[in-house]
Amino acid sequence: MDIADSYKLKEAVLSSFLHHITTVRNICAHHSRLWNRDFTFITMLPTNGEEKLLTSFNPTANKQLYNTLVMCAYFMDTISPNHHWKQKLKALIEAHSIDITDMGFPIDWLQRAMWTE
């Protein structure tokens, strides 16, 4: 079975995301600034698949971190449905009063399907 098929994604979308998440990992590993960075390599967003995923992206913020976090949440939901990653992310944002607009978060992000429980 094709790996991309198991995530209900096209191979090009999965490959693009994996390339992008490698960049994010390297930024974190080298203690560089991540929260308000504009990426030069933009991950390809899926155009078909689960409604929960498709409706949660912010297509106007394709160079910022938010869409990466949506993809990470989607993979966590698929791999480990009982995870607490999304709750921990929300708590981290709230605890540190982070300005999420600099990361490309839409105003209604908590109401989008990926983030509702």
The predicted-structure confidence for 82-116, as pLDDT tens digits, reads as follows: 999 999 999 999 999 989 999 999 999 999 999 99
Which tokens hold the place of 43? Answer: 């991950």
At residue 16, the 3 state secondary structure works out as helix
Quote the pLDDT of residue 44. Answer: 93
List of residues 6+ apart from 70 with CB closer than 8 A: 53, 56, 57, 114
Question: How far is residue 101's CA from residue 96's CA, in Å, rounded to a whole number?
Answer: 14
Contact assessment for residue 57 and residue 67, using Cβ atoms and an 8 Å cutoff = yes
Query: Quick one: average pLDDT of 20-34?
Result: 93
pTM above 0.85, yes or no: yes
Contact assessment for residue 7 and residue 16, using Cβ atoms and an 8 Å cutoff = no
The tens digit of pLDDT for each residue in 41-89 reads 888 999 988 999 999 999 999 999 999 999 999 999 999 999 999 999 9
Contact assessment for residue 41 and residue 23, using Cβ atoms and an 8 Å cutoff = yes
Place of tokens 């308000």: 36
